[in-house]
């Protein structure tokens, strides 16, 4: 069961995608891969921020979500947003092409999160960054069951096991944390 939060306006009350992306260092011209992009709560704002000199590629296993993302992207006139129907365990899209691999409230949803993180490593440029935003492992007014969430420590240790160097772990709004990691040279 997935928690996709389809009411964007409501979600924006507790999560600001532009702020999160900006703080993650997303800038014009970047190439960003959004793993488990869903309806594009982050992919659409990212594509707008990145502009025509960069690109966003959203990956998800939910074809309906991707259809809706495509439609939304067309309505917004975005030509730099691409989608790929695939399991994040199975694709790495390209080799050393991405400035940022972003995972938004999804790491705990993957069947094999370690494999997803390892795949993502191949797709990152040598100076690229992994950004993992997720629910704090504590009771919140909504969100997935606490038992299935990864704590900051669990997520950070998984990311390190996959071969990254964790650079920062910070709070992100009232219910989330964000982990930034780079590649070990």
Residues forming the site for ligand SAM (CB under 6 A): 2-5, 36-38, 41-42, 59-62, 65, 87-89, 104-106, 109-111
Taking CA atoms, 19 is separated from 23, 121, 149, 172, 178, in Å, by 6, 25, 23, 10, 12
Residue closer to ligand SAM, measured from CB, 61 or 183: 61
Q: How far is the CB of 77 from ligand SAM (least distance, A)?
A: 21
28-46 b/e with 16+ CB inside 10 Å = b?
Answer: eebbbbbbbbbbbbbbbbb
Q: For residues 65 and 181, which CB has a smaller minimum distance to ligand SAM in the complex?
A: 65
Strands 81-85 and 124-135: unpaired
Compute the least distance from the CB of residue 184 to ligand SAM, in Å.
Answer: 25
Backbone angles phi, psi at 33, to 5 degrees: -105, 125
CA distance 174 to 159: 23
Instruction: Answer for the pair 183, 164: CB distance below 8 angstroms, yes or no.
Output: yes
When the beta carbons of 27 and 115 are compared against ligand SAM, the nearer one is: 115
Closest CA to 117 of 60, 183, 58, 26: 183
Q: Pick the closer one to ligand SAM by CB: 36 or 55.
A: 36
Question: Whose CB is nearest to ligand SAM?
Answer: 38
User: In angstroms, what is the minimal distance from the CB of 61 to ligand SAM?
Assistant: 4
Closer to ligand SAM by CB, 106 or 158: give it.
106
Please state the closest distance from residue 27 (CB atom) to ligand SAM, in A. 20
């Amino acid at each position: 069961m997935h928690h996709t939060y389809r009411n964007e306006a409501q979600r924006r009350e507790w999560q600001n995608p532009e702020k999160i992306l900006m703080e993650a260092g997303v800038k014009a011209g970047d190439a960003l891969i959004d793993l488990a992009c869903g309806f594009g709560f982050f992919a659409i704002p990212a594509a707008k921020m990145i502009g025509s000199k960069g690109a966003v590629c959203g990956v998800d296993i939910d074809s309906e979500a991707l259809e809706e993302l495509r439609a939304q992207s067309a309505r917004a006139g975005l030509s730099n947003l691409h989608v790929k129907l695939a399991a994040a365990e199975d694709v790495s899209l390209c080799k050393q092409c991405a400035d940022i691999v972003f995972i938004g409230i999804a790491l705990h949803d993957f069947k094999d999160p370690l494999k997803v993180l390892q795949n993502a490593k191949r797709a990152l440029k040598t100076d690229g960054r992994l950004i993992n935003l997720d629910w704090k492992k504590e009771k919140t007014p909504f969100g997935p069951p606490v038992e299935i969430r990864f704590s900051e420590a669990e997520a950070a240790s998984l990311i390190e096991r996959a071969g990254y160097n964790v650079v920062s772990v910070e709070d992100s709004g009232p219910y989330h944390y964000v982990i930034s990691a780079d590649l070990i040279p």
